Amino acid sequence: MTKARTYGEALCVGELLQLQKPFSPGEPQHDELQYVIIHQCSELWFKLLLHEFDEICRLLAAGEPGRAAHLLRRCTRVVGLIDQGFGLMESMAAHDYALFRPYLTGGSGFQSAQFREVEIALGCHRESTLHQPAFTAEENARIAGRLRQPTLWDAFVAAMRQAGYAMPDRTAAKTDPTEEARAAECLRQMYVVGTHPELRAVSEEMTALDNAVSVWRFHHAVMAERAIGRKVGTGGEGVEYLYRTARIRCFPELMAVRTIL
């Protein structure tokens, strides 16, 4: 007979609660635990996002856009939860953060390999961010594997083609004005004609996810400015870098088509 598994065993609670290690010397600062937990939770949410992104791509390829839209909605809520964590960070006063910030010694969210994977999956990564000395061999291998997989936009373009739209890929649309115009017209037709409501639902959920990512990134920039002002961040960048990233769109095509609807 199989032994009953307890809640703590199923979720590895004992091990989980041992993972919050202080990094400042001596007695840990009071707000240090909050800082660690919020960032660890973000990494868990990144893991879930990557899990869902893979399934969304599979569903779109399998001709199941309705289920894909449902999971995209879930992803938007997950991004909202990450944003709430950074909102909680705002409860930490700047002088309290300054008590333990020097002991991060270069450790930064800029070095989150999972977030780089999230950006790749969303199709908004920058090559310069993918080469971090802090990444382990395993993290570099994961990033390399993610670069070989279709992005969410690639999966959506393939679904559009399956539905009969002559949708060019992003590279072609970026380099050829004719292809760019064709992509815009395909999207306009998909919206206006309404023959494929499930595809339209997918595109709207992708837009909502894009907005959520932008809001979270902007909130992160505001939070960082409140905490460190115009100092250089632990990852070597300042708040202006964070504000710039908040203006990056994951699916700019879906934003641009609104101009011609």
Is residue 165 in some structural domain? yes
Q: Quote the CA–CA distance of 20 and 255 in Å, as a whole number.
A: 40
Structural domain count of the chain:
1
Which tens digit of pLDDT belongs to each residue from 105-159?
777 788 999 999 999 999 999 998 898 899 999 999 999 999 999 999 999 999 9
pTM (2 d.p.): 0.93
Is residue 146 in some structural domain? no
Q: Which helix (H) or strand (E) element contains residue 51? A: helix 32-61
CB 245 within 8 A of CB 224: no
- Using a pLDDT cut of 90, give the percent of the chain over it: 72
CA atoms within 13 A on the CB side of 31: 15
Is residue 248 in some structural domain? yes
CB 173 within 8 A of CB 179: yes
Please state, in angstroms and as integers, the Cα–Cα distance from residue 217 to each residue in 67, 89, 243, 245, following that order: 27, 14, 8, 7
CATH code for the domain in which residue 224 is found: 1.20.58.480
Q: Quote the CA–CA distance of 3 and 24 in Å, as a whole number.
A: 42
Boundaries of domain holding 75: 30-108+151-259
CB 60 within 8 A of CB 158: yes
CB 21 within 8 A of CB 28: no
Q: Which of 68-82, 86-100, 154-168, 177-191 has the lowest mean pLDDT?
A: 86-100
Is residue 180 in some structural domain? yes
Which tens digit of pLDDT belongs to each residue from 194-222?
899 999 999 999 999 999 999 999 998 88
Is residue 24 left, alpha or beta, with left meaning phi > 0 and alpha meaning psi from -120 to 50? beta
Predicted local confidence at residue 24, as pLDDT: 87
Is residue 24 in some structural domain? no
CA angle 209, 80, 119 (to 5 degrees): 50
Confidence of residue 235 (pLDDT cuts 50, 70, 90): low
Is residue 121 left, alpha or beta, with left meaning phi > 0 and alpha meaning psi from -120 to 50? alpha
Helix pair 32-61, 113-122: axis angle to 10 deg: 30
Q: Quote the CA–CA distance of 98 and 219 in Å, as a whole number.
A: 20
Query: Mean of the per-residue pLDDT values for the chain?
Result: 92
Q: Quote the CA–CA distance of 100 and 203 in Å, as a whole number.
A: 43
Is residue 176 in some structural domain? yes
Is residue 15 in some structural domain? no
Q: Would you tell me how many other CB atoms lie within 10 Å of the CB of residue 198?
A: 16
Is residue 198 in some structural domain? yes
The DSSP code for 195 is S
Q: Which residue has the tokens 């710039």?
A: 244
CB 199 within 8 A of CB 167: no
